Amino acid sequence: MAVLTYRKTKTTVTDREQIAKALADIGIGFETWGVERLPEHLRSRNLADTEKQDVLTAFKPELERMKSQGGYVTADVVSLWPDTPNLDVMLAKFDKKHLHTEDEVRFCVQGRGVFTVFPQGTDALDIELRPGDFISVPANYHHEFRLCDDRKITAIRLFRDPAGWVAHYVN
Ligand SMILES: [Fe+2]
More confident residue, 44 or 140: 140
The reported pLDDT for the residue numbered 161 is 87
Q: 1, 35 in Cβ contact below 8 A?
A: no
Number of domains in the chain: 1
**91 and 153 Cβ atoms separated by less than 8 Å:** no
145 CA distance to ligand 1 middle (Å)? 6
Residue 10 to residue 21: CA distance in whole angstroms: 18
The pLDDT confidence band at residue 25, using thresholds 50, 70 and 90, is very high
Of 2, 7, 3, the closest CA to residue 117 belongs to: 7
Give the Å distance between the CA of 36 and the centre of ligand 1. Answer: 27
Measured in angstroms, how far is the CA atom of residue 141 from the centroid of ligand 1? 9
Give residue-wise pLDDT tens across range 138-165: 999 999 999 999 999 999 999 998 787 8
Please give the pLDDT value at position 97.
97
Task: Give residue 171's pLDDT band: very low, low, confident or very high (50, 70, 90).
Answer: confident
| Distance separating alpha carbons of residues 117 and 68, to the nearest angstrom | 26
What is the Å distance from ligand 1's center to 94 Cα? 6
Classified as helix, coil or strand, 97 is coil
Ligand 1 midpoint to CA 147 (Å): 13
Query: How does residue 43 score in pLDDT terms, banded at 50, 70 and 90?
Result: confident
- The CATH number assigned to the domain holding 152 equals 2.60.120.10
Distance from residue 44's CA to the centre of ligand 1 (Å): 24
Model pTM score: 0.95
Q: Say how many Å lie between the CA of residue 56 and the centre of ligand 1.
A: 21
Question: Domain containing 132: what range?
Answer: 3-169
Band (58; pLDDT cuts 50, 70, 90): very high
CA 64 / ligand 1 centre spacing (Å): 23
